[in-house]
Amino acid sequence: MATAAAAVAGPHQYLQAQTRWRTIEVAFWFATLFPFVLFPNYLSLASQIAITALFALSLDLILGYAGIVSLGHAAFFGLGAYAAGLFSKFVWGEPLSGLVVAAVVAAVVGYAASFIIARFRHLTLIMITLGMGFLLLEAANSASWLTGGADGLQGVRIGRLFGYFDFDLYGYTAYGYSLAVLFLVFLLARRLIHSPFGLALRGIRENPVRMPAIGAASRAHIRKIYTISAALAGIAGGLLAQTTETVSLGSLDFQRSADVVVMLVLGGAGRLYGGIVGAIIFMVARDQFSGINPQYWYFPIGALLVAVVMFLPGGILGGLARIFASWRGRSS
């Protein structure tokens, strides 16, 4: 592999340089272990953050990298959540197999939907993703014999992880489990994004007309990444169902789809850590302000969105990267 890269200088070297682990990345992942020691009372929040970050990462793959604007990504999150919840209720409570079921169910639906998604852009695409989100929400609401409807899915019982770690009240297992899954998925996404396939996706985002013209199979690429993204969103939903042992209609609603877009854009779309950083800031802020009327909570969110679009394209990470680049340019 190394000799091949050396022989073909250019693109391969570029890709390899991209995949090198930076110190700050390693430090970040070590820092995710701090909550175990520093905030043991907030482990269930930390677990929620890890799950949300995973969800945002799944959206980043299609929205940030492939440029597919989706306002209904909660459809796959909810699918995974209900799949994992129902699996544990009717089959068995072993968590890892439940997670696989969640991923497979979301991936199958995502694959079917991807044939539609790949054909459209602009408003039609937004409307179709929005419509699919509402469609699933209404379906789950109607099928209350299966999903419990507005009362939520009851009777989800999750067994011990690896037959040893019990899901305790404090969330030690929940956070450890969510974090581990997030990290594994992150590794996968990182590999994917730094592959030629990832480069092709960015090409589709930058110019959807020119990519087919240079021979890239645009639609096949979109179908692939959309299916992957759906599966990852399903895993995130499955994690939420398993760690909270309940599934509500809230896992499917428009609010969740909108929130995850907000987080991703806030952190920086099209950056691997964008969704994670956005999820951390968003979830911590919401936890801190949970006392106020939820309708007022919309104000800072809306203001942040306007501010990011107007003054900070690229989100927080994009802004930091620019500051860092200009600082570097000055020092050298």
Partner 1 sequence: MIAPVIGVLFDGFAYGMLLFLLSVGLSVTLGMMNFVNLAHCAFAMLGGYVTVTLMGTGWPFFATLPVAFLAAAATSVLFERTLYRRLYRASELEQVLLTIGLAFISVAVAAYVFGTIQQAVQTPPYLRGSINFMGVNFAVYRLFLVGTALVITLVLVLALEYTRFGAQVRAAVDNQRMARGLGINVDAAFAITFALGSGLAGLGGALAIEIVGLDPSFAFAYLVYVLIVVSVGGLGSITGSFIAATLLGISDIAGKYYIPEVGAFLIYLVMIGLLIWRPAGLFGRR
Residues making contact with partner 1 (CB under 8 A):
63, 67, 69, 71, 116, 119-120, 122-124, 126-128, 130-132, 134-135, 138-139, 141-142, 254, 258, 261-262, 265, 269, 293, 295-299, 301-306, 308-310, 313
Q: Which is nearer to partner 1, 34 or 298 (CB)?
A: 298
Which residue carries 């699933």 as its tokens? 136
- Angle (deg, nearest 10), helices 95-117 and 74-90: 150
CB of 136 to partner 1, least distance (A): 9
Residue-wise burial string across 101-111, b where 16 or more C-beta atoms lie within 10 A, e elsewhere: bbbebbbbbbb
> Cα dist. 287→90, 176, 282, 316 in Å?
33, 20, 9, 20
CB of 7 to partner 1, least distance (A): 38
Q: Which is nearer to partner 1, 32 or 58 (CB)?
A: 58
CB of 311 to partner 1, least distance (A): 11
How many residues in total does the chain contain?
A: 332
Alpha-carbon span 234 to 112, nearest angstrom: 15
Q: Which is nearer to partner 1, 78 or 95 (CB)?
A: 78
Give me the phi and psi of 16, to 5 degrees please: -70, -40
CB of 301 to partner 1, least distance (A): 5
Q: Which is nearer to partner 1, 104 or 126 (CB)?
A: 126
Please give the distance of CA 69 from its chain centroid, rounded to a whole number: 14
Q: Which is nearer to partner 1, 68 or 103 (CB)?
A: 68
Please give the distance of CA 155 from its chain centroid, rounded to a whole number: 27
CB of 53 to partner 1, least distance (A): 20
